[in-house]
Amino acid sequence: MGLSKLIALVVLLDLLSSARVARSEFDDAVGFLQRAKEPDFFDWMVGVRRRIHENPELGYEEHETSKLIRKELDALKISYRHPVAVTGVVGYIGTGKPPFVALRADMDALAMQEEVEWEHKSKAPGKMHACGHDAHIAMLLGAAKILQEHRDDLQGTVVLVFQPAEEGGGGAKKMIEAGVVENVDAIFGFHIATDTPIGVVESRAGPIMAGSGFFEAVISGKGGHAAIPQHTIDPILAASNVIVSLQHLVSREADPLDSQVVTVAKFQGGGAFNVIPDSVSIGGTFRAFSKDSFFQLKQRIEEVIIAQASVQRCSATVDFLDKDHPFFPVTVNSKVLHRHFEKVAAEILGASNVGDRKPVMGSEDFSFFSEVIPASFYYFVGTMNETQGPMHPPHSPFFRINEEALPYGAALHASLAAKYLSENHALSSPMKNIRDEL
């Protein structure tokens, strides 16, 4: 072989090998979106979403939903663990080795009656997928299908987390207790957004959703005739003053630049116009953006209720109900994963379609994953079609979803995971190998 031929061969081999590297690093993220928009693929996701929408199930009761997910995973030849946290399913795609990156979807519906009249309306009276978790499942299955088609190129393992009971049941916490994310290095979660156009995604680095807790207090006095107050100890007046005093916690004690909420949403007492009751019960929620502020607020709520009730000679007990409703931590997005998200999303959607999301005082049980996994990231997938006007927000009985948004969630979830693995493969494997052997 002449020298020039040898050089040509070397150059050719070099080109071939760099082409392989390029493919395995998923430079063609746009291809994922095109794949998810192909009619067969799209119709399959829509079908999955509609079947789940017709049969909504509440937290820890997602038995049929879980079965449907497992059937789809079987069809895709993806192995999984089940049951986890009652109805949860955890699938695995890739090498089975580190690094591990998780993608999460929630599965539960809400206890409310659907008011939208359409072909696939909820068939379960008093239950509705009014928060879009049916779409989240379809998107995560879509991502799973894309990733399974590229499984030989994955440089690590994608963990598919289908979790029960997001709506107040702490399903994420139960999944963590079952050990499903023990080796996971990073996790991505999403929620559909009704105030953001289709094709646009949004998030931010740092805190994005608040920590949240509930409280309930019983304020006790001494009941009696409403016309003879001097012989009673009136808990209605005491509870009223308690509520006013609670409103001073945020307005007078919190840093105005550190957002917090105290809301009394429940006030129950008395039953007649002419009887002062023995006791009154009040309850509500409190929110904050840091652990310190959250626990400071919790302590002050208890102190204020007891002390203010005593001003009117009443006694009070305060219960934070955290056994049945664990406090939701603050959802905090990793800075590194935010950069990853901005880069990957811009490649697929164009930089102008990757937006900033203002933090909200709502909370998400994804935050439990945030607390235990080294890096976590939560983002929003737009579902608004501007030509169709404004949408009803989540938890409305008129809530509906534009299914055209499904391919965006599927493709972005898949690319975030695949690219995370290619970029972190070299970094995390030596340490991981040591940990695996221990």
Residues that constitute the known binding site for Mn(2+): 131, 133, 167, 191, 395
Angle between helix 29-37 and helix 39-54 axes, rounded to 10 deg: 60
Tell me if 131 contacts Zn ion by CB under 5 A: yes
Residues 270 and 221: their CA atoms lie apart, in Å, by 12
Part in contact with ligand NAG (CB under 6 A); list of ranges 47-55, 174-182, 231-239, 380-388? 380-388
188-227 binders of ligand NAG (CB under 6 A) = 198
**Residue with the closest Cβ to ligand NAG?**
404
Count of residues touching ligand NAG (by CB under 6 A): 5
392-411 binders of ligand NAG (CB under 6 A) = 404
Token pair for 83:
């049951």
Selection from ligand NAG, Zn ion, none that 131 binds (CB < 5 to 8 A by kind) is: Zn ion
Residues 2 and 8: their CA atoms lie apart, in Å, by 10
CB of 405 to ligand NAG, least distance (A): 8
**Cis omega (within 30 of 0) for bond into 83:** yes
Selection from Zn ion, ligand NAG, none that 4 binds (CB < 5 to 8 A by kind) is: none
Selection from ligand NAG, Zn ion, none that 198 binds (CB < 5 to 8 A by kind) is: ligand NAG
Q: What is the DSSP string of 39-85?
A: HHHHHHHHHHHHHHHHS---TT--HHHHHHHHHHHHHTT-EEEEEET
Give residue 226's region: left, alpha or beta (phi > 0; psi -120 to 50).
alpha
CB of 394 to ligand NAG, least distance (A): 19
Tell me if 24 contacts ligand NAG by CB under 6 A: no
Part in contact with ligand NAG (CB under 6 A); list of ranges 277-285, 341-349, 372-380, 384-392? 384-392
Determine which residue in the list 125, 387, 390, 437 makes contact with ligand NAG, applying CB under 6 A: 387
CB 103 within 8 A of CB 147: no
DSSP E strands, 306-390: 315-319, 331-333, 354-356, 375-384
Q: Helix, strand or coil for residue 304? A: helix
CB of 199 to ligand NAG, least distance (A): 6
User: Which H helix or E strand runs over 203?
Assistant: strand 201-203
**Residues binding ligand NAG (CB under 6 A):** 198, 385, 387-388, 404
